[in-house]
Amino acid sequence: MDWYAWHEGYQDGRPLRRRLRLVQDQLRAALTEAPAGPVEIISVCAGQGHDVIGVLADSPRRSEVRALLVELDERNVAAARLRIAQSGLTGIEVRQADAGITDSYRDATPAGIVLTCGVYGSLTDDHVDRAVAALPGLCAEGAQVIWTAHRSTPGLYATVAAAFERHGFVPVRSDPDDPFGVTRHRLGVPPRPLRAGERMFRFADEPTLISIGRIQTE
């Protein structure tokens, strides 16, 4: 997958653009509900940062936010940093790193809002569970997690939702008529310290994703 070219899907009129608006709506809602004072945000596999940067650019809480965007593709990192500069935002770091390793989030935890959008469709079921199980290490008490899992992929949304329930998250927003599966959960168990050097997840290769039905060939 060329993850830089993938972002062309954010152009007006394309499905990813519609998903982006739904994610941004949930991020705005999470910011509104966050306690007064500083807000820590983590974006996992942040891409070009459209969701976080787009919301903070005109948010009344922009000066209160410290955000870490973790992305591996250097072209996406450069695009995100340019967008931040153009928006005049401060307090946002784009870190070029493997988002699947806990060390990539050093000095950024615990966060009150975590985004894991566009992640789970590239994982096998066991890595979905590992990824969700690791989230309490990124989260502050009562943190909100915004995530996506396309409902057209057989079993994907149910697998991810079950993992969130299994690992102590409670649903805040889920719309069964939303094909993109944009969902918000709140951490309902105590957070835990981030474990150094832990592999949270790894993207599966294309043949594996085809074999488990994550990628449809017909």
Structural domains of the chain, with CATH: 3-31+38-211 (3.40.50.150)
pLDDT of 7 reads 67
For residue 25, which of 198, 146, 190 has the smallest C-alpha distance?
146
For residue 149, which of 12, 23, 5 has the smallest C-alpha distance?
23
DSSP H stretches of helix in the chain:
3-6, 15-33, 50-56, 74-87, 125-134, 156-166, 206-211
pLDDT of 35 reads 92
Give 91-132 pLDDT, tens digit per residue: 999 999 999 999 999 999 999 999 999 999 999 999 999 999
pLDDT of 217 reads 62
Whole-number average pLDDT of the chain? 94
**13 pLDDT above the threshold of 70:** no
Q: How confident is the model at residue 218 (pLDDT cuts 50, 70, 90)?
A: low
pLDDT of 6 reads 61
DSSP, res 101: B
Single-letter amino acid code for the residue at 134 = A
Longest dimension (CA), the chain: 50
**5 pLDDT above the threshold of 90:** no
Give CA–CA dist 97/71, Å, rounded.
6
**4 pLDDT above the threshold of 70:** no
Residues 209-212: contacts with CB within 8 Å, 24+ apart?
209/122, 212/124, 212/125
**151 pLDDT above the threshold of 80:** yes
Give CA–CA dist 129/147, Å, rounded.
14
